[in-house]
Amino acid sequence: MTALRWGILATGGIAHSFTSDLVDNGFTVQAVGSRSQESADAFAAEFGIPTAHPSYEELAADPDVDIIYISTPHPFHAANAALALDAGKHVLIEKPIALNARETREIVELAAEKGLLVLEAMWTRFLPHMVRIREILAAGTLGEVQSLVADHTQKLSDDPAHRINSLELGGGALLDLGIYPVSFAHAVFGAPESIVSSATFKDTGADAQLAVAFTYAGGQVASTFTSSVAKGPNTASLLGSAARIDIDGVWYTGTSFRVVATDGEILESFSSDFVGRGMHFQAAEAQQLVSEGKTASEILSPAESVAIMETLDEIRAQIGLVYPGE
C-alpha cells in the first residue's frame, strides 16, 4: 500500500483528532495549512509535522503533499476541495462533504475530471465493528432486514456564536450530528422512497432537535433522532426477520455489538480494540484506493455521498432550514 503524504487543511478540533490518529498509527503527515503562520506553526509543533503553511493555497501547492484532509466548516468544503483538486491533490473531506447536493456534485465532477480520489470522511463507515456488520448483513444472518433505529444526541454549546448554532457556518444538529444515522441508513437500505421530518430550532435559526422517519422501496423503515441540546444513549439497532444487531453506545465510534436471534440466543458478540479514536481507518482506505489506482470507494462512493446530501436537502426542505447564500 502506497504511503501517501498527508496535508491537513485547517487546524480546528476535528483536525486535531484526525491528525493524532494518523501520527499514532504511523501515517505520514507532511504539512499543515492554516489561515495564519502562528496557527500552522503551533499545530505542526504539536504533531511533529515538517512543514507549516500560512495559507490553504500554499498547502495545496506543496509538491511534497499527495492528499489533503479538509476540515473547515461545512460552507467552505466545496471551495477548499476545488483548491486542492485543481492543484492535483487527492481529497478526504470532512463530513458532510459539502453544504448541499449541488456543491457535492460539483466536487465529485471536478475530481472525476482530474482523475483524483474524493472520499467523504464519514469515519464510522470504516471502523472495525461496521466492517463486521457489513459481513453479517451480506451473510444473511439477520434474515430479511426490516428496520433500523439510531440516535445521535449530544449536549453541545448554547453560545449563539458557537459554530453549531451559526447558520453562516452551516451549524445545526442535522449536518453535524444527524448525518451519522442518515448515512448509516443509506449504507443499509440505500436511498429512501419517502421521508417525513420534524424539528425544533434555536433562536439563531439552527435546528436543535430532529426526528426523521424513512421508508424504502423494499418495505423497510428507519427512524433517526438527533439533538444538540440533550445527550441520549447513542445506540443503534438493526432488526431482521431472524435476528437483530444491537450496537452499544457510542454506536458511531469504535464500540461493541451483539447479534441476537429472535429467541434471545446471542449468536455473536463483537468488540473493538485499536489505538486512538479510529479516524485513521478512513485514511487507510484512501491510501489503499490510491495504491490500486482507484478514485472511488466501494464502502462510501462519491455517488452515495451525493445521494446522502440529496436526502439531507429534502429533510432541510421539509423543516424549512436554509443556509445563507443558498
Q: List own/partner pairs for 39-42 with CB under 8 A and 24 or more apart.
A: 39/11, 40/11, 42/11
The pLDDT score that the predictor gives to residue 192 is: 98
Reading the block at residue 104, the C-alpha cell is: 457535492
Mean pLDDT for the stretch of residues 95-114: 98
Adjacent-strand bridge partners of 212: 197, 224
The pLDDT of residue 187 is above 70? yes
The Cα-based distances of 255 to 6, 57, 189 in angstroms read: 27, 38, 22
d(Cα 257, Cα 302) in Å, to the nearest integer? 28
The pLDDT of residue 35 is above 90? yes
- DSSP per residue, 4-46: -EEEEE--SHHHHHHHHHHHHTT-EEEEEE-SSHHHHHHHHHH
Which is it for strands 221-227 and 145-153: parallel, antiparallel or unpaired? parallel
At residue 210, φ and ψ (nearest 5 deg) are: -150, 125
- Tens digits of per-residue pLDDT, 43-62? 999 999 999 999 999 999 99
Domain 5-122 class?
Answer: alpha beta
- Tens digits of per-residue pLDDT, 141-171? 999 999 999 999 999 999 999 999 999 999 9
Reading the block at residue 105, the C-alpha cell is: 456534485
The pLDDT score that the predictor gives to residue 1 is: 65
Mean pLDDT for the stretch of residues 202-228: 98
- Tens digits of per-residue pLDDT, 297-326? 999 999 999 999 999 999 999 999 999 989
User: Within 10 A of 76 (CB to CB), how many other CB atoms are there?
Assistant: 19
**Catalytic residue list:** 95
The pLDDT score that the predictor gives to residue 127 is: 98
* Closest by CA position to 316, among listed 217, 180, 178, 119: 178
* Domain covering 128-271+308-319 in this structure, CATH number: 3.30.360.10
The Cα-based distances of 14 to 25, 121, 149, 209, 293 in angstroms read: 17, 11, 26, 22, 28
The pLDDT score that the predictor gives to residue 169 is: 95
User: Within 10 A of 136 (CB to CB), how many other CB atoms are there?
Assistant: 19
Reading the block at residue 217, the C-alpha cell is: 422501496
Judge contact between 181 and 150, C-beta under 8 A: yes
- Tens digits of per-residue pLDDT, 241-278? 999 999 999 999 999 999 999 999 999 999 999 999 99
Amino acid at 52: A
- For 104-234, strand residue ranges (E) read 118-121, 145-153, 194-201, 207-215, 221-227
d(Cα 98, Cα 195) in Å, to the nearest integer? 21
Q: What is the mean pLDDT of the chain?
A: 97
What are the extents of the domains in the chain?
Answer: 5-122, 128-271+308-319
For the beta sheet containing 266-270, the strands, ordered from the edge strand earlier in sequence to the opposite edge, are 194-201, 207-215, 221-227, 145-153, 236-240, 243-247, 257-261, 266-270
- Tens digits of per-residue pLDDT, 168-185? 999 999 999 999 999 999
Return the percentage of the chain with pLDDT > 90, whole number.
98
The pLDDT of residue 2 is above 80? no
